[in-house]
Amino acid sequence: MSEKPENEVQLPDPLAMSQKMAAIAERSRQLVTEFLERQASNGGPQNIDPLNIGAAFMEMTAKMMANPAKLVQAQMNLWQDYMRLWQTTTQRMLGAEQSDPLISPERGDRRFKDEAWDENALFDFIKQSYLLSARWIQATVEEVEGLDDKTAQKVDFYTRQFVDAMAPSNFLMTNPQVLRATLESGGENLVSGLENMLDDLERGKGKLAIKMTDYEAFSVGDNIAVTPGKVVFQNDLMQLIQYSPTTEKVYKRPLLIIPPWINKFYILDLREKNSFIKWCVDQGFTVFVISWVNPDGELAHKSFEDYMMEGPFAAMDAIDKATGEKTVNVIGYCLGGTLLASALAYLSGKPRNRKGPAVSRIASATFFTAMTDFEEAGELSVFIDEEQLRGLEEEMSEKGYLDGASMAQTFNMLRANDLIWSFVVNNYLLGKDPFPFDLLYWNSDSTRMPATMHSYYLRKMYQENLLVEPGGISLNSVPVDLGKIKTPIFMLSTREDHIAPWKSTYALTQQVAGPMEFCLAASGHIAGVVNPPAAGKYSHWTSDHIAPSAEEWLEQAEEHEGSWWPHWRDWLAQYSGAMVPARKPEDGKLPAIEDAPGAYVKVKASDSSDA
């Protein structure tokens, strides 16, 4: 018997194919029916431009047309680039020696990793045509004069979204890998892709909820978030987890971690080999972590003040009862860091009683990629203008919260090629199932935002930037002034952070009055933080001095190979006291409620009764 030729074109089974297509048609009909029913129940079509993109591009177009000569010159430059590309491609097709490309993808651009993009003259032409057009579009938009900063930023961001969406790798007929798979499978990949798309539409209830990983491969508390511990306290907003020690002796002063409530805490406890929480326990720290509730409409009234009082302050009261320690070291991650800065300023501004200055409840504060000055808030500020805020508040007023999927989509747009279009190609065009990946499982495990708290945070901080103004906001009638903070601070930022740009986070170094150490890690908002020493990845920068600006600090900073974790541990040890016998959660004065990671973290955004 002869062997089957490699890459032989397969012909699909007509009966099986017709059955699949019939099932797809029926599921599609049902989805359309449900969509129309939802539209009718919601009073007809909704706002077709909730992001207020149209006005920004209308203004950009008007400014552009005011200088037609510049636009004509840009078009001439593009035409000349096209002519050079036609010339080099024609020469290559006629057998001439291949010349250097006119333009190449940026380093790390995985859209064009297939060899055919370079080896095949046609696909090389398609690739370079796209890259030339993308460069021209973005450069033309960037050079428009007369736009205010916010409008220019919005136009630039959504132009890039359009350019990314139009990449030839995203379409069947211009992606060599997809064409190859289609020929080899007889079109089965496209049928499987349709089924995957319908699954995503059904899971998103009519909205495309792209599947990024195998959701069945992970279970919180079973194979992720498995560091042993106990829930020792809970209230409406959070559960407090105390982790079991792994050393005979521990530092006297406990460590409290405040994660962002915009995500689940277990990003710091994915697996044993990359768990920051497990590593801290192994270093001899008594670790407590706040696990925020995934709120529903019943918690719509919860405010930013409530998150402070019922979050870190309630946690510190519980830690005092559990360990007898009235002061703690505290970590605030991202939004948890913004809350930590607010709490420090609140404590610093509280009136002292007659007995004299109270002992500070926070001995040291560590900030992970946390914003306090939102003047230059990066690309997230594209989504914060008056029109969009009003739209969000109207949406939240109906349910009492902001749907977690809305926030997840916003963050995914910041890295659209990696977190949107790569999955469109893999899931829908290639018809493959996504690879099991714990980080993407966490990324998809979204949380909801209570209406009152989220509106306050977006308006007072992102839009009005009042946290940096002395007395700009008051919490429980106490004016907040970051300049009164004298607590020792360790601040970690990450060089490629799209959510909390490091040069913006650096502003806190100029705002507080206490001792400060700043550390810059390579990589981004997640990978730069979750970087265990054993991995041997990424570097970090430190300096003995705090410079007036981020750029000056980096010029004098020293780069070190590997993780920043050991450097931070050495810094924290000086504020952690002597070594004492290890404390087990079950031996404390607070009775254990349940095993870690607790019930709150297991609630999905889709579990709301009014969702």
Question: For position 62, what pLDDT does the model report?
Answer: 82
Amino acid at 431: G
Question: For position 404, what pLDDT does the model report?
Answer: 78
The list of the chain residues with pLDDT below 50 reads 1-4, 354-359, 609-611
Q: What are the distances in angstroms from CA 163 to CA 178, 304, 558, 579?
A: 20, 38, 38, 57
Query: Is the preceding peptide bond at 597 cis, omega within 30 degrees of 0?
Result: yes
* SS3 (DSSP) at 434: coil
CA atoms within 13 A on the CB side of 36: 6
Which fold, 229-403+448-607?
Rossmann fold (3.40.50)
Question: For position 548, what pLDDT does the model report?
Answer: 96
Question: For position 185, what pLDDT does the model report?
Answer: 87
* Element spanning 82, H or E: helix 68-93
Report the alpha-carbon distance of residue 154 to residue 386 in Å, rounded.
13
Sign of the alpha-carbon torsion through 178, 182, 188, 194: positive
Question: For position 51, what pLDDT does the model report?
Answer: 62
CA atoms within 13 A on the CB side of 281: 23
Q: Which residues are catalytic?
A: 334
Q: Which residues of 564-601 are buried (b: 16+ CB within 10 A; e: fewer)?
A: bbebbbebbeebbbeeeebbebeebebebeeebbbebb
* SS3 (DSSP) at 13: coil
Contacts of 61 (CB under 8 A, 6+ apart): none
Question: For position 351, what pLDDT does the model report?
Answer: 74
Question: For position 149, what pLDDT does the model report?
Answer: 82
Question: For position 97, what pLDDT does the model report?
Answer: 76
Report the alpha-carbon distance of residue 383 to residue 295 in Å, rounded.
22
What secondary structure does DSSP assign to 311-351, as a single string?
Answer: IIIHHHHHHHHHHS-S-EEEEEETHHHHHHHHHHHHHHHSP
Question: For position 146, what pLDDT does the model report?
Answer: 86
pLDDT tens per residue, range 148-167:
888 888 888 889 999 999 99
What are the residue ranges spanned by the domains of the chain? Answer: 47-186, 229-403+448-607
Question: For position 489, what pLDDT does the model report?
Answer: 98
pLDDT tens per residue, range 182-222:
988 888 888 899 889 888 888 887 778 889 999 999 999 99
Amino acid at 405: A
Question: For position 2, what pLDDT does the model report?
Answer: 44
What residues pair up with 520 in beta bridges, in sequence order?
A: 493, 541
Question: For position 55, what pLDDT does the model report?
Answer: 77
User: Do 467 and 308 touch, CB atoms closer than 8 A?
Assistant: no
Question: For position 170, what pLDDT does the model report?
Answer: 93
Query: Chain-wide mean pLDDT for the chain?
Result: 88
